[in-house]
Amino acid sequence: MQREDFAGLGNGHILATWDLLAKRWRFLPVTGCTELSPLEASRLGLLRATTVPGVPVITEVNLPLSDLSKPWYEATRVFGPYNGHPEFCEDWNLESGGDSDLGELLIAPFSGIVINAYDAGGGWGRILRILGVTLQGETVTWMGAHLNTITVVVGDVVTAGEIVGASGNANGRYAAHLHEQICVGAVPGPEVFGTDRRYDFRQPSVWYVEHGVPKDLIQRVTEMDRR
């Protein structure tokens, strides 16, 4: 099991299994489960299976932008769709433009465990991924890219609303903004991004509304309203 395959649900566990045919990890919530034997795994059609504790349950969801009193907008609302935006990822900017949002604090959108925190270089810059699991046992991976700073490390358990870093410009590659991705189900590894259609990447603003973030708030921070 690599670090991006953490899982756990309350005082039970998530059974993390390698599906040989689909060639990806699958996750199933269980209670009191121990590691499967090779024979048990083979009977399930699995190459291997194990349980890994440690991922908090998602009970609260919020936007990752710490200061929502500021006039934010999402780039495709102004410039139109591009490179998988906004269907699979979104870019959040301050209406003041340029690097005006450089260093804007970011918070964990839900409780989870940090599975990646590193500088990928190039157009990605510093990347942070947080893995959580819903009450229904569905794994959710959040990614923020182009970050200026990351204040957590791999293995940290974070709670919804906790400061985890600040928006950046990919080491000067772009004007500062937050590039955000949300993946449901199979957990993407460190080098997997929203353009990889083997994974179930969701439009972040839509996912937030589906998980309790007020629709009028989403509308306010995505539209360029010139406040």
pLDDT per residue as tens digits for the range 189-201: 767 777 788 889 9
Give Cα separations from 219 to 117, 207, 208, 224, 225 (angstroms).
Answer: 30, 13, 11, 10, 10
Q: Tell me which of 2-11, 135-144, 203-212 is least confident.
A: 2-11
> Among residues of the chain, what percentage have pLDDT more than 70?
74
| Alpha carbons 194 and 142: distance in angstroms, whole number | 11
Is residue 140 a contact partner of residue 162, using CB atoms and an 8 Å limit? no
Asked if pLDDT for residue 162 goes beyond 90, the answer is yes
What pLDDT digit, counting tens, does each position of 59-70 carry?
A: 999 999 999 999
Domains of the chain: 3-51 (no CATH), 72-222 (2.70.70.10)
pLDDT > 60? residue 8: no
Q: pTM of the full predicted structure?
A: 0.77
Q: What pLDDT digit, counting tens, does each position of 93-120 carry? A: 999 999 999 999 999 999 988 888 999 8
